[in-house]
Structure 1
Amino acid sequence: MNAVAERMPALYLSHGAPPLADDPVWPGELAAWSATLPRPTAILVVSAHWEEAPLALGATRTVPLVYDFWGFPEHYYDVRYAAPGAPELAASVRKLLRVPGMPVQDVPDRGLDHGAYVPLVEMFPDADVPVLQVSLPTLEPQRLLEVGRRLAPLRDEGVLIVGSGFFTHNLAALRHPGGGVPGWSAEFDDWGARALLAQDIDALLDFEEKSPVGRLAHPRTEHFAPLFVTLGASEGELGSARSVIDGFWLGLAKRSVQFG
């Protein structure tokens, strides 16, 4: 990959489900966001929907998408996103991550899942930027922070690092009388926004205990976990954090943050 003069930012975004494409507001917010970014040489995505250890590198050529959802109307399975593979980026990731205690494997037929392609369809609709997806090798926040730290040099090579999750994610607890935004989702969103503003990484790492509703907002860590990769890749620039997208979608906080 050729280096670019401008250091790329790192993103954490709430990715939505396939029906995001039909939302009257959110796709436009994602498109407007991408229009403000420098053009990346490649995109590295860590999605909540791929947990595999050791850390795995997905396809480095264009392969079919992973439609990892069930019961949706047929047209959501007709979506295509034939972005180029990123073999040079994969080689760089292997070099950065292959250290004692951090093995790396290849899963060459693994395509982009909806945590990757759903937002990328809106942000880079021409599918002309090479994309590499890597797995979450653990849900342990401190270890993911270290993964992000090791990936950080890629930003100077023009690589856009994207942690793709959801700022609150408890589908079972959404089934409450009255609809609207549940109190736990609004409370965690506010707590998380304030922790980011204060650069309180320790609180975010220990969100299950430090937030009164942390365990309710995230009964499993997988949708918050990509944030820690982004935080690691943004070390030294945490004061630059800004929420580009906020608000709620079907009761879940869609807060999305840019560093750098």
Structure 2
Amino acid sequence: MNATPVAERMPALYLSHGAPPLADDPLWPGQLAAWSADLPRPTAILMVSAHWEEAPLALGATGAAPLVYDFWGFPEHYYQVTYAAPGAPQLADSVRKLLRRAGTPVQDIPDRGLDHGAYVPLVEMFPAADIPVLQISMPTLDPQRLLEIGRRLAPLRDEGVLIVGSGFFTHNLAALRHEGTPGWSAEFDDWGRRALAAADVDALLDFENKAPAGRLAHPRTEHFAPLFVTLGASQGALESGRSVIDGFWMGLAKRSVQFG
């Protein structure tokens, strides 16, 4: 009798997703592609993007749905990008069970496709679009609550699910007024690098007060918030965290990390 294949335990990722022009960058797409090539093949991908806040926590489309082009003023070809990954109804069932068991309300929004925080990096990392993808919303920006949601989702890693928090390690577009990397962006990135290396979750949770230029690097915290879902999902693997991509793009820190 053949044994049922056992899915390989997946790491959990936080990545800086970039804007649609990421595809034209001479370096970054190759970095994302090399990263995915080093990962085990996921059975499915669970995306948590900075660009979807919805309460109660919502599950996106589990079947065919158009992408969400949630940006304005870009050249037309960025609105022609497609990413027809299969839906993930089985993963959606698992997410419902895990979260409802913990008392977290869950709703379905079946016509909500992937937004650019999800599909922009996926196009570079998994261009064949042949892995089922489910996007869920952030029902809050409270770091502690997001950490707990990540902890509830952690068992999915043992089913071969790649959990990805997609944000931007620094994000203040209004403060990008000069060429080069602003001091606030570099200072926050260096602090975050050290906090992650030390697995100092308490400091990261209180980043607005503990980090230099914390409130300037993230005047609104939605692009840092997905990190806490990733940290929660990284149970038992926080000490293994490593930065896979670093550096800056248009002055913003594109630091992206892997746990496990």
> Which category of TM-score, normalised to the shorter sequence, fits these structures?
over 0.9
Cα distance in structure 1, aligned partners of 2:52 and 2:6: 30
| Aligned residues of 1:3 and 1:157 also touching (Cα < 8 A) | no
Cα distance in structure 2, aligned partners of 1:207 and 1:30: 26
Question: TM-score when scaled to structure 1?
Answer: 0.97
The SS at the match of 1:160 is strand
Hey, what does 1:198 align to over in structure 2?
198
Q: Map Cα deviations across residues 184-233 of structure 1 (whole Å, 9 max, x no partner).
A: 00000000000000111000000000012100000011000000000000
Q: How far is the alpha carbon of 1:169 from its aligned partner? A: 0.2
Cα distance in structure 2, aligned partners of 1:168 and 1:3: 40
Q: How far is the alpha carbon of 1:258 from its aligned partner? A: 0.3
Cα distance in structure 2, aligned partners of 1:85 and 1:156: 20
Hey, what does 1:149 align to over in structure 2?
151
Hey, what does 2:251 align to over in structure 1?
251
The SS at the match of 2:219 is coil
Aligned partner letter, 1:224: F
2:89 to 74, 81, 87: 87
Counterparts of residues 79-228 of structure 1 (less than 5 Å): 79-99=81-101, 101-176=103-178, 179-228=179-228
Hey, what does 1:234 align to over in structure 2?
234
Change (3 A) 1:110 1:237: same
Aligned partner letter, 1:13: L
The SS at the match of 1:222 is helix
Q: How far is the alpha carbon of 1:5 from its aligned partner? A: 4.2
Report the aligned-residue RMSD.
1.0
Q: Map Cα deviations across residues 99-149 of structure 1 (whole Å, 9 max, x no partner).
A: 464100000000000000000000000000000000000000000000000
| Aligned residues of 1:81 and 1:121 also touching (Cα < 8 A) | yes
| Aligned residues of 2:102 and 2:152 also touching (Cα < 8 A) | no
Alignment pair present for 1:24 and 2:26:
yes
The SS at the match of 2:221 is coil
| Aligned residues of 1:54 and 1:137 also touching (Cα < 8 A) | yes
Change (3 A) 1:105 1:5: closer
Cα distance in structure 1, aligned partners of 2:7 and 2:66: 33
1:47 to 31, 39, 49: 49
Q: Which shows bigger deviation, 100-109 or 46-55?
A: 100-109
The SS at the match of 1:39 is coil
Structure 2: segments with no counterpart, 5+ residues: none
Change (3 A) 1:3 1:147: farther
Aligned partner letter, 1:81: Y
Cα distance in structure 2, aligned partners of 1:100 and 1:126: 35
